[in-house]
Copies of this chain bind each other. A is one copy, B any other.
Amino acid sequence: MHHAREIVVETRGKGLFEFTRAVVDEVRAAGPEIGLCTVFLRHTSASLTIQENADPSARRDLERWLERLVPENDPDFTHTAEGPDDMPSHIKAALTATSLGIPIIGGRLGLGTWQGIYLWEHRAQPHRRRVLIHVQGQ
């Protein structure tokens, strides 16, 4: 069984936006007992990450640390036509993930207790991000 669907995750500028529920729902609708769920982001200026879903301070520190590692207005950047947040966005995306593969076991998505699935927006403005969710199994 193979099932694929595109969903939209709305962001409000830089930061991590959880969409675990949408992935869990898709797996439940497809219904395999055992299998694999692949989450894929169709953009290059945002990314995906699996992070702790408990304390929001962890996500804030994560965002701040990456912003400090890849600041805007780096004098070495030449790709600046789309704004000061564009080139840092591509770098941040390269350092994190565009696709995630999560096994399905016992009829459930195999996330650990403290794991949530996040879209990491790297642009300053809100965006509607298109995400593909593919579910397969038996």
Contacts and interface: CB of A to CB of B under 8 A. Distances in A.
Interface stretch (A7-15, A17-25, A98-106): A98-106
Interface in A77-120: 77-79, 81, 87, 90-91, 93-105, 110-115
B79 A57 contact: yes
Given A42-B115, A95-B95, A103 B4 contact: yes
A128 interface: no
User: How many identical chains are in the complex?
Assistant: 3
B62 A90 contact: yes
Nearest to A45: B52
B44 A94 contact: no
A77 B120 CA distance: 19
Closest 10 pairs (CB-CB, A-B): A42-B112, A103-B134, A57-B79, A99-B101, A58-B79, A4-B105, A103-B132, A38-B101, A44-B52, A2-B34
10 contacts: A40-B110, A42-B112, A43-B114, A44-B52, A45-B52, A49-B98, A62-B91, A66-B91, A95-B96, A98-B115
